[in-house]
Chain A
Amino acid sequence: MKEKIRIASGQGFWGDLVDAPYNQVSKGNIDYLVMDYLAEVTMSILQKQKNKNPKFGYARDIPALMKRILPICKEKNIKVITNGGGVNPIDCAEAILESAKECGLKNLKIGVVVGDDINDRIDEIIKAGYELNNMETGESVKTIKDKLLSANVYFGAFPIVEALKKGVDIVITGRTTDTGLTLAPMIYEFNWKQDDYNLLSAGTVAGHILECGAQSTGGNFLGDWELIDNMAEIGFPIAEAFPNGEVIITKHDDTGGKVSFETVAEQLVYEIGDPKSYITPDCIADFSTIKLEDLGNNKVKVFDVKGVKETPTYKVSCSYSDGYSAVGTLAYSWPQALTKAKAADKILRKRLENLNLKFDEINSEYIGYNATQGPLSTKIDEENINEIMLRFAVRSKDFDSVERFGKEIAPLILTGPPSVTGFAGGRPKPSEVVAYWPALIPKTLVKPEIKIYGL
């Protein structure tokens, strides 16, 4: 058994720094590169892409990225684990094999985790007596069945562990928990068992620290952010994991950013609910037990994590089409910038009302005044305000109403308050609203499967 392994985070979301994975594999030694690509709405975007072209449906940055990093990974024996397979992990694997051929690799083994996509099984699951009730509202999935865009079960670390046991270089998954990507290599390398709940929780916590990329190494840090060194070349986090569950969070030496008690603590409280009950398919981690020790020199030890047995259900993440929305913006200038923007808002609302359009919601905000702080915004002195941007958003089940709204923004320039500009992007177009439907399903109804592809 290895004494320790180094697991590096390469992406915090789909769209994160393009060079981050390359830097992780090239700027120092690591054993695993893990990349989280999937946010809640990402699956529906990928499903739409797959509907248009059955070969799509995965994070299509991956093949080009692999071409850059695979020769290095092969040379240094770095394994790559990612959930960027989205709703089409098999074609993702095929595309990676093509990349591998193009860079002259002779051997490559990819493990693909499938079985998470239950979009085609909804009727069968309802028939079996499980209506995938919305965890927030309690409604049956039947109420939105015709509008479903995607439905995926969150798998945990163990299917990835199964793939690693088959000696693969890369593991591609669909909807796997962000934390499972990091936990899996620890289970595999240190031979942790399914009931080692404290160890599984320790690995889960490490996964939570890594899953948002540089958000644990000084990015988006609300403490002394001005003291974060060299954010331009910020290093992404690395978890040095030990068999006893202790983890040291660090980053490569010649990179910017900072790893401290504060930067790690901020990430630990990010997007959590009840800290005593951080539920994953692998365990229920108790975040209130986490201890941190700042070792200095960009190293923070994470230890003493406790947790308990996992639940008998998987979380299902469904998305469905729920109407349309559009957003228009216009900038108003000094003097009286806010007064003008507010007057424009009033005129626009009156025009929409006169047109008898149907909207579920209209929301206007004033960027430069209250768009981020709402009612907590302080009063402004208009003499000292150079400009205000009116941001006007509508949402409706009725496409035509949203489209018609799009035609009402530009006319405000010639038919409303003065000193207005910033309408260069054309008419706001309706975009589909994708709503999220979280549910639970008994683990017995879904079975992860590993497929192996290779050169």
Chain B
Amino acid sequence: MKIKLREIAHARSGDKGDAGNVGVIAYDDKGYEIIKKYLTAKRVKEHFRGICFGKVDRYELPNLRAINFLLHNTLGGGGTVSLKYDAQGKILASAMLRMEIEI
């Protein structure tokens, strides 16, 4: 069965230098089990192909039903160096939620 990530989770993103951070939060415990299982660093790196050019760090926050991803080398240099329209990675969260997961 294929589900859309945005049906089971919400998210917020921002910048940390040239890295973007995307925190994904499941709406309930069942959703958290799904993101814990399927949102691997590898899966997220693949999803952001052509956007994230560095490694992806993955951190779990079970109390918040959340997983935080740090996408290195993603913001075109970050800050005022970046020529990207979304230089601060504000939209990475919604871009993450486009993901479809086969469960």
* A residues whose Cβ falls under 8 Å from a Cβ of B: 40-41, 136, 215, 220-223, 262, 265-276, 287-292, 322, 325, 327, 361-363, 365, 367, 371-376, 391, 393-395, 431, 433-436, 438
Contact = CB atoms under 8 A, between A and B. Distances in A.
A193 to B, nearest CB: 26
Nearest to A392: B83
A374 B87 CA distance: 12
B80 A274 contact: no
A374 B17 contact: no
A434 B79 contact: yes
A361 B17 CA distance: 18
Given A265-B66, A288-B61, A436-B17, A222 B10 contact: yes
A325 to B, nearest CB: 6
B79 A435 contact: yes
Nearest to B97: A222
Best-surrounded residue of A325, A363, A376, A395 (most CB of chain B within 10 A): A376
Residue among A40, A262, A269, A289 with the highest chain B CB neighbour number at 10 A:
A269
B63 A222 contact: no
B59 A271 contact: no
7 contacts: A136-B17, A266-B12, A268-B61, A273-B68, A273-B70, A372-B86, A375-B50
B37 interface: no
Given A269-B66, A273-B70, A292-B64, 9 more contacts: A268-B61, A269-B68, A271-B15, A274-B70, A288-B60, A288-B61, A373-B98, A376-B47, A434-B80
Given A222-B10, A376-B98, A363 B83 contact: yes
A71 B84 CA distance: 44
Contacts of B50: 374-375
Nearest to A274: B59
B49 A273 contact: no
B80 A433 contact: yes
Nearest to A375: B50
B95 A266 contact: no
A374 B23 contact: no
Interface residues of B, number: 47
Q: Is the interface of A mostly helix, strand, loop or mixed?
A: mixed
Contacts, number: 137
A220 B14 CA distance: 12
Contact of B64 (A269, A273, A327, A365): A269
Interface string B45-75: 0011111000001011111111010100000
Contact of A371 (B12, B24, B79, B86): B86
B63 A292 contact: yes
Nearest to A372: B91
B62 A288 contact: yes
B12 to A, nearest CB: 4
A269 B51 contact: no
Contact of A365 (B81, B84, B95): B84
B16 A372 contact: no
Interface string B14-31: 111111010111010000
A396 B11 CA distance: 35
Residue in A262, A275, A375, A395 whose Cβ sees the most chain B Cβ within 10 Å: A275
A41 B59 contact: no
A435 B81 CA distance: 6
Contacts of B94: 222, 372-373
A269 B69 CA distance: 10
Contacts of A376: 47-48, 51, 95, 98
Given A372-B91, A376-B95, A434-B80, A289 B63 contact: yes
Nearest to B93: A222
A272 B68 contact: yes
Pick the 7 closest A-B CB pairs, nearest first: A269-B23, A375-B50, A393-B83, A363-B83, A271-B14, A223-B10, A372-B91
